[in-house]
Chain A
């Protein structure tokens, strides 16, 4: 059998099967991956698997309980909850992905440079990051989202700002250790350029921790995005979203329509749980000290 060696996918596939050999942590990661991948697939395939148009209004079935036609019931304007369930994760996933990208792109380089250079640059950036960190995350995200207005990008920015300090702190503390290690000294003594030391010696050794922070960040971003939409700071109301369904469902719950809030709620929990499990599993697998 010929070995697959080319491309990222070719390297990832053998990596995935090796997860089964890593004990509990490996299985936790696999469960997380299965949850996340199936929710992502469900959202991507929503246009084909939805029985109804998620925003079409059926005035004959307003707030009707689960039935054969509407397996998860309908909401107060008569929209199919099953279709809304299939469609409703899209915004959240986009926001989470974008906010993680923003965080990595800002937190990682600032952490690397300031910690490697040290001195006043490090002091200044630490001060800024610590002041952001001192705010309660959700309150800060709400404040920024309220200032910027609705939209996927604005939500991603407001969540990103909150999580940049987490990356900064992790990267900074790792770099402080790695830059003192002999292999960095040895690279310098062998005439390596500064950018080589940063890019080829320090960065690859920091990345495992960044991956772990990123998965935890994903989970948090999902919850925060749901929270922002719940209080009306998300996307346009016409786009199906679990966060809005929670808002609607809360109002309907008093009248006994439990199905509107329950199913989107479960989806949010599962998605966040999936990312958390991946993060937990990876942090154990990627930490060499916990190996075996």
Chain B
């Protein structure tokens, strides 16, 4: 049984100008200890997908359809209080912005102690402190800085602290929403190494939400490419590396710099993502697709072109 099983999940925002389907019929599953990359442009629904897994979509958003199963048990049918216990304890969420994700009036110790005591009320202060110290050591932050406040840390350190808070309760799944977007490349590499190290040490599964396909290719076992709320390609990352099938994925691949091909030109995908209130007919990528054909005006199914390699494109049949 997979750790997480998401089936035809659909999330809509009921905006004044109409219903926006930010996540459309998304299905995937995740094994224990696996790293899944969710790649897409801003507005492709990847963050909404992440938030819907902990049922924390901001209003006016709502999960309209589908199911989410954690260890075979439905997450969507949980009561509010049971859901609260899942958050943090079983599924942790690491937010995008390291600058505002820690409360400015609480020091690091308070952040850790509060989290630990909320979920493990029997823990003594000394035990909780010990655990926090261990985590800080793993993160490469001196435990002496426990009494420092968020503004006394750099962005990269804050991001590490947030990850530490994420893994503090040893959850089964950590969802990291653009954990490195606000950081420079060197810190970015360190954070991603740290995530992998934490995965190896604590054995939790990881969903890495990013707009950077190269990061996902490098760090993830499996990749979901999202476009306008839909999965357009889903495969093992080495399969995507070797043969990206969807024209959108191919476009993303061509826009990654490659030092081995010195005179390679980077190609941008022409156009911009569609307005979710006014989607193109049929395949949502067809107005920007170099291979578009009249048949693309029809609704495209997600096809399994190879074992475990799914593509939403008529070039591969259907």
Contacts and interface: CB of A to CB of B under 8 A. Distances in A.
Interface of A: 181-183, 185-193, 196, 200-201, 204-205
Nearest to A185: B95
Given A190-B88, A191-B84, A183 B114 contact: no
Contact of B87 (A182, A188, A201, A204): A188
A196 B84 contact: no
Nearest to B151: A288
Contact of A190 (B96, B100, B104, B115): B115
21 contacts: A181-B100, A183-B100, A183-B101, A183-B102, A186-B93, A186-B165, A188-B87, A189-B56, A189-B93, A191-B86, A191-B87, A191-B89, A191-B118, A191-B119, A192-B88, A192-B114, A193-B84, A196-B114, A200-B103, A200-B106, A205-B105
Nearest to B168: A190
**Closest A-B pairs by Cβ, 5 of them:** A191-B88, A190-B88, A189-B93, A191-B87, A182-B101
Given A193-B118, A196-B118, A182 B88 contact: no
A201 B103 CA distance: 7
Main secondary structure of the interface of A (DSSP, over half): helix
Q: In this complex, which of A186, A188, A201, A204 has the most chain B Cβ atoms within 10 angstroms of its Cβ?
A: A186
Given A191-B85, A200-B106, A182 B95 contact: yes
B308 to A, nearest CB: 30
Contacts, number: 63
A205 B85 CA distance: 25
B54 interface: yes
A121 to B, nearest CB: 15
A188 B165 CA distance: 13
A22 B13 CA distance: 47
B100 A182 contact: yes
A204 B105 contact: yes
B162 interface: yes
B117 to A, nearest CB: 10
B95 A190 contact: no
Contacts of A190: 87-88, 92-93, 115, 118, 165
A191 B86 CA distance: 7
Contacts of B87: 188-191
B61 to A, nearest CB: 13
Interface string B182-197: 0000000000000000
B303 to A, nearest CB: 35
A205 B102 CA distance: 12
Contacts of B96: 182
A193 B81 CA distance: 9
Contacts of A192: 84, 88, 114-115, 118
Contacts of A185: 56, 95
Contacts of A187: 103
B118 A186 contact: no
Given A189-B54, A193-B84, 8 more contacts: A183-B103, A186-B102, A186-B165, A187-B103, A189-B92, A189-B95, A191-B118, A201-B103
B97 interface: yes
A204 B104 CA distance: 9
Nearest to A118: B59
Nearest to A119: B59
A247 to B, nearest CB: 47
Contacts of B162: 186
Given A191-B84, A191-B86, A186 B114 contact: no
Contacts of A181: 100
Nearest to B102: A183
Max chain A Cβ within 10 angstroms of own Cβ: one of B89, B93, B101: B101
A186 B159 CA distance: 12
Interface string B107-139: 000000011001100000000000000000000
A187 B93 CA distance: 10
Contact of B56 (A182, A188, A196): A188
Nearest to A202: B103
Contacts of B104: 183, 205
Contacts of B101: 182-183, 186
Contacts of B114: 192, 196, 200
Contacts of A200: 103, 106, 114
B155 to A, nearest CB: 13
Contacts of B105: 204-205
Contacts of A204: 103, 105-106
A196 B84 CA distance: 12
Nearest to A288: B104
A205 B106 CA distance: 10
Contacts of A193: 84, 118
A42 to B, nearest CB: 36
Contacts of B115: 190, 192
Nearest to B90: A191
A186 B84 contact: no
A204 to B, nearest CB: 4
